[in-house]
C-alpha cells in the first residue's frame, strides 16, 4: 500500500470499504499485526477527519473485556464521539468495569496502514492502555513499538 494519501487505483480500491464505513458510521476499527505477527493491534480510522487523535490498543491488553479489544475500542470511540470528541492524553474512562487511560503513542504509526493510506503522516495516535480506577496507580501494559 502506498503511504498516502494513496492515489493509485489499487490502493484506492483497497481503502474504499474503509471510506464507506467511515461515511456511514463516522469511524471504523481496523485489526492489524506486524509482518511477523509478534503483536496484534486494533486502531481507529476516521477520527482524523474531525481533527482528533486516532486510538490504538494492543489485542492482548483487553482479553478480559467482552469480545476483547475490538469491542472495547468501539465502545470507547462511540462514547468519545457522543461527548463531542473532547479527549486527550491522560484521560481515563471506564467501560463495564474496565478502566483505560489514553497515553501518548508514536512508535507504531508505520504499521497503521489504513490511516497512512488515507491521511499520510497527518494523523496522531493515543494508545488505549489498561489502568486502575485510581489515577495514581499504574497497571502493566505492553508498549506498542515494532518499528
Q: State the pLDDT at residue 107.
A: 67
Grid cell in block for residue 81: 464521539
Q: State the pLDDT at residue 108.
A: 67
- Contacts for 131-135: CB closer than 8 Å, 24+ residues apart: 131/92, 131/99, 131/100, 131/101, 132/99, 133/94, 133/99, 135/92, 135/101
Please report, in tens digits, the pLDDT of each residue of the chain (147 residues total). 445 678 788 888 999 999 999 999 999 999 987 666 667 889 999 999 999 999 999 988 898 888 899 999 999 999 999 999 999 999 999 888 889 999 987 666 667 889 989 998 889 999 999 987 765 665 555 555 433
Q: State the pLDDT at residue 65.
A: 86
% helix, strand, coil for the chain, step of 5:
35, 25, 40
Which residue, 28, 24, 25, is CA-closest to 117? Answer: 28
Helix (H, G, I), strand (E, B) or coil at 78: helix
This prediction has a pTM of 0.85
Distance CA 119, CA 50 (A): 12
Q: State the pLDDT at residue 145.
A: 43
CB 56 within 8 A of CB 105: yes
Query: What are the distances in angstroms from CA 97 to CA 39, 66, 94, 134?
Result: 25, 11, 6, 13
Q: State the pLDDT at residue 96.
A: 83
> Phi/psi at 97 (nearest 5 deg)?
85, -5
Q: State the pLDDT at residue 76.
A: 95
Amino acid at each position: 500500500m502506498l503511504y498516502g494519501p494513496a492515489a493509485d487505483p489499487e490502493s484506492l480500491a483497497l481503502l474504499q470499504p474503509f471510506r464507506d464505513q467511515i461515511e456511514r458510521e463516522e469511524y471504523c476499527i481496523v485489526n492489524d499485526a506486524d509482518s511477523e505477527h509478534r503483536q496484534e493491534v486494533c486502531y481507529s480510522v476516521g477520527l482524523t477527519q474531525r481533527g482528533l487523535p486516532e486510538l490504538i490498543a494492543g489485542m492482548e491488553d483487553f482479553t478480559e473485556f467482552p469480545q476483547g479489544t475490538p469491542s472495547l475500542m468501539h465502545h470507547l470511540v462511540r462514547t468519545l464521539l457522543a461527548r463531542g470528541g473532547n479527549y486527550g492524553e491522560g484521560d481515563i474512562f471506564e467501560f463495564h468495569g474496565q478502566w483505560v487511560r489514553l497515553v501518548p503513542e508514536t512508535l507504531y504509526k508505520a504499521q497503521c496502514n489504513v490511516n497512512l493510506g488515507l491521511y499520510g503522516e497527518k494523523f496522531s495516535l493515543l494508545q488505549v492502555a489498561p489502568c486502575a480506577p485510581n489515577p495514581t496507580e499504574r497497571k502493566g501494559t505492553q508498549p506498542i513499538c515494532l518499528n
